[in-house]
Structure formats: C-alpha cells, structure tokens
Amino acid sequence: MNLHAIGAIYRYEMARFFRTIFQSFLSPVISTSLYFVVFGTAIGSRIDSVEGVSYGAFIVPGLIMLAVIQQALNNAAFAIYFPRFTGTFYEVLTAPVNFLEVVAGYVGAAATKALFIGVVILGTSTLFVDISIQHPLAMVAFLLLTGISFSLFGFIIGIWAKSFEQLQLIPMLIVMPLIFLGGSFYSISMLPPLWQKITLFNPVVYLISGFRWSFFGAADVPVALSLAAICGFTALALGVIWWIFRTGWRLRS
C-alpha cells in the first residue's frame, strides 16, 4: 500500500476544504438553525413526541444524515470530476498507484469533510434541544459507514458525469428525495400501512433508522438489517469502482 500517494491525494483535497473553512462551517450552522425553526418550532409545536422522544430531538439524526449524505456525495463527485474535466486526472492514472490507493485518497478526504459537517450539526443541535446518545459506538460506526459509502457513490457519479448538469442530476433528483422520504423528519410508523411497506424499498430508510437507534434506542427496522444494508451498499460501490478502473470506463475519454 502506497501510503505516500494516499496522503498526497488526501492532503491536496483537504487543502481545498480548509481554504473555504469559514463557509464550510457557517453554512451547516445556518441551515440547521433554519430546520429547527421551521420543523422543530412550527411542526414540533403540534407534535409533542415521536416514539417517546421530543420532536426537536427526534429530527436531529435525520438532519445529520441529510447533511452527511449530501456532503459526501457532492465532495467526492466534484473532487473526481474537475481533475477529469481539466485533464489533470491522467497524471494520477499514469502514476504507480493502484485503484485502492486512488480511491482511499479521494474518498477519505470527501468522507472526512462530510463527517466534519456532521459533527458541526450535532454540536449546533445541542443549542436547541437536549441530545442523549445511548449507543455512541454504533453512532460513530453508522456515521463512518455512511460517509464512506456515499463518498464512494459520489466518486462513481463524478466519473459517470459528462457535464455539470449530469453531476447534479442524481444527487438532486434521486438521492435528495429518497432522504426526505426516508424518515428524516418523521417515523415511518406514522404512515398508513400501505405506505409503510412501500417506504421499506427506500434504502435510505435503513440508514436513518439505524442511526436514530444509536441515539434513542428506537428504530423503524431491525438494527442488524440497517447495518447489513449500509455494508452491502459500501461493498457494491467499491465493486463498481474496481470495475471502472479495470475496464477504464469513462476514465480515458
């Protein structure tokens, strides 16, 4: 394993992040505050609690997942798309590094940025509601796996996209609706029976459910199933990236 190559890619990507650290820090704080004003105050005033948890606290895991998934996707997609767009990514392809080392550098940086935003949102949430984490190790595990898996997915999107429009197509039109319909701001037990069954086909439900369980000990689906879903998605994304590097699909065109 070429740790020097991984470190070089990782440091380069993180340097871009720290050049805009103020915006990166301020944006999630403002957006989280707005979510609490709109959902926590307006809707929370009409919902006393959900599964024994105050509504303001109940939406915190969903807010964190929303930000982590969005940031992981966008950071990884842009990180790989721009070198392809400018042609500098060919230098990486000709370097003596394998696909795991390239992916570790880019995905590691994207996941780090996403996790940083997640921690910022968690800290911001404590200004509005009291948060208790019943299973901190499980929370960290779900957060890490989500950040890594969606960074891998974003890496795939960055390779697939041929334009800026395509770069935003999947995150905006597919992933974001799945997040909002995946129980970010409600429990699927609140839905009619038919829609509860339909919602189970949404993969994001399992991520948010498992992550929320780590906070409150309550989940819409079994925790083991949530863990299996995120591990399976991570393995699938890594397998697709391996195939891309092996065949050169979209890498040399």
Q: Provide CB contacts within 8 A for 12, sequence distance 6+.
A: none
pLDDT on residue 45 = 66
Residues of the chain below pLDDT 70: 40-41, 44-45, 252-253
pLDDT on residue 220 = 92
For 128, the enclosing helix (H) or strand (E) is: none
pLDDT on residue 1 = 79
For 131, the enclosing helix (H) or strand (E) is: none
